[in-house]
């Protein structure tokens, strides 16, 4: 296996730095950074391709890290000085292993169904932690995938990957920026499954979530944290629903990641006959 040793902030180091910080460069290279035992394990378990594994030269490695280095196919691996490894890592205690992972194309066919479809759509996410948390929620509750629309935070940002706690690599997430492409995708689902409920979420007093039949093929449209669902997406909705709150609540709405958890949990509860 070819190893690249980076001892100074040269061009090779700068590439790693921009994978961490620069959205446009990530897409130019079609690669992104992953850090943490859970993330690397899930990337391997779910068949993601690795460009490189990164570690500090001459640093003692755990049996786990040695096994990953031995068993993971890469184009080449990268050794850094301990100081550069600490600078690249986002952990309080420097990770012993990081990875450069290859992106996957945005293909809606990557979202596969084990029964009646259950999909999330997140419009213009503005918070990296919320996007990662929603991926984790969809993984926990067995949803089929996530669609991203509009211009928001980068799906492949290391903070999004980290916040997902490994679920990034399990839950198919696909960007569909054009409304015409989204309409075609929904049409394909209706052709295949016969029906599709597209439920937009709102803080206003609309139909309560639990009054909807969520056992049917369902897409939950989740609006941007600050502005809600864009006007361009509202015509796609078959219904607008709300999560009722306490009448004397001082909050105007749920946090978007919390709301997503409630919605998908209710869908799973209904689909299991109310036994969850």
Q: What are φ and ψ of residue 256, in 5° steps?
A: -60, -35
- Other C-beta atoms lying within 10 Å of the C-beta of residue 25: 15
The rounded distance, in Å, linking the Cα atoms of 181 and 200 is 18
Residue 208 domain-assigned (yes or no): yes
| pLDDT confidence of residue 105 | 96
Q: Is residue 78 located within the same domain as residue 156?
A: no
The pair phi, psi for residue 195, each rounded to 5°, is -160, 160
Residue 276 forms part of a structural domain: no
The pLDDT assigned to 206 comes to 73
In terms of domains, do 45 and 18 share one? Answer: yes
Say if residue 65 is in the same domain as residue 176. no
Identify the segments of the chain with pLDDT beneath 50: none
Instruction: Write down which residue in 75, 102, 129 finishes a domain.
Output: 102
137 and 249 fall within a common domain? yes
Query: Measuring CA to CA, which residue among 56, 139, 138, 55 is closest to residue 99?
Result: 55
DSSP secondary structure of 195-237 = --EEEEE-SSS-EEGGGS-TTSSEEEEE-BTTTBS-TTTGGG-
Domain check: are 202 and 177 in the same one?
Answer: yes
What pLDDT does residue 226 have? Answer: 78
Q: At which of 61, 82, 102 does a domain end? A: 102
* pTM for the predicted model, two decimal places: 0.93
pLDDT for res 120: 98
Q: Which of 74, 102, 130 is the last residue of a domain?
A: 102
Per the structure, the count of domains in the chain is 2
Q: Residue 240 sits in a domain of what CATH number?
A: 3.40.1280.10
In-domain check, residue 11: yes
For the chain, the straight-line distance linking the first and the last C-alpha, in angstroms and rounded, comes to: 49
Alpha-carbon distance of 98 to 108, in angstroms, equals: 28
Does one domain contain both 148 and 94? no
Mind listing the pLDDT tens digit for each residue in 19-75? 999 999 999 999 999 999 999 999 999 999 999 999 999 999 999 999 999 999 999
With respect to residue 42, please indicate whether it lies within any of the assigned structural domains.
yes
In the three-class reduction of DSSP (H, G, I as helix; E, B as strand; rest coil), residue 26 is classed as helix
Q: Are residues 248 and 129 part of one domain?
A: yes
In order of 5, 45, 75, 104, 204, the CA distances from 146 in angstroms are 38, 20, 29, 14, 24
pLDDT, position 246: 78
CATH of the domain at 60: 3.30.1330.30
Nearest-10 crossing angle of helices 128-140, 256-271: 10
Structural domain boundaries enclosing 48:
3-102
| CB-based contact 214:115 (threshold 8 Å) | no
Residue 239 bridge partners (DSSP): 199
- Considering the domain architecture, whether residues 91 and 151 belong to the same structural domain is answered as no
Residue 23 shares a structural domain with residue 73: yes
Specify whether the CB–CB gap between 243 and 222 falls below 8 A: no
Determine the pLDDT at residue 275: 59
Q: Tell me what pLDDT residue 90 has.
A: 87
Both 261 and 186 in a single domain?
yes
Which pLDDT score, from 0 to 100, does residue 85 have? 97
Same domain flag for 85 and 179: no
On whether residue 148 sits in a domain, the answer given is yes
Co-location of 97 and 117 in the same domain: no
In a domain, 140, yes or no: yes
């Amino acid at each position: 296996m070819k190893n690249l040793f980076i001892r100074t902030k040269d061009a090779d180091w700068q590439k790693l730095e921009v994978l961490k910080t620069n959205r446009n460069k990530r897409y130019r290279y079609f690669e992104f950074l992953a850090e943490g035992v859970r993330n690397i394990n899930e990337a391997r378990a779910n068949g993601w391709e690795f460009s490189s594994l990164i570690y500090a030269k001459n640093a003692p490695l755990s049996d786990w890290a040695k096994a990953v280095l031995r068993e993971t196919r890469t184009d080449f691996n990268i050794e850094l000085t301990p100081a550069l490894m600490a600078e690249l890592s986002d952990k309080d205690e420097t990770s012993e292993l990081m990875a450069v992972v290859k992106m996957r194309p945005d293909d809606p066919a990557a979202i596969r169904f084990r029964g009646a479809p259950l999909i999330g759509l997140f419009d213009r996410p503005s918070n990296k932690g919320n996007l990662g948390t929603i991926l984790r929620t969809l993984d926990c509750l067995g949803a089929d995938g996530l669609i991203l629309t509009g211009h928001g935070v980068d799906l492949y940002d290391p903070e999004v990957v980290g916040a997902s706690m490994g679920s990034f690599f399990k839950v198919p997430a696909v960007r569909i920026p054009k409304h015409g492409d989204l309409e075609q995708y929904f049409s394909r689902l209706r052709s295949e499954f016969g029906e599709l409920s597209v439920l937009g979420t709102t803080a206003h007093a609309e139909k309560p979530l639990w009054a909807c039949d969520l056992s049917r093929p369902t897409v939950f449209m989740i609006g941007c944290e600050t502005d809600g669902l864009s006007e361009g997406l509202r015509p796609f909705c078959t219904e607008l629903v709300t999560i009722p709150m306490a009448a004397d609540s001082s909050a105007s709405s749920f946090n978007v990641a919390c709301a997503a958890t409630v919605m998908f949990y209710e869908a799973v509860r209904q689909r299991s006959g109310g036994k969850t």
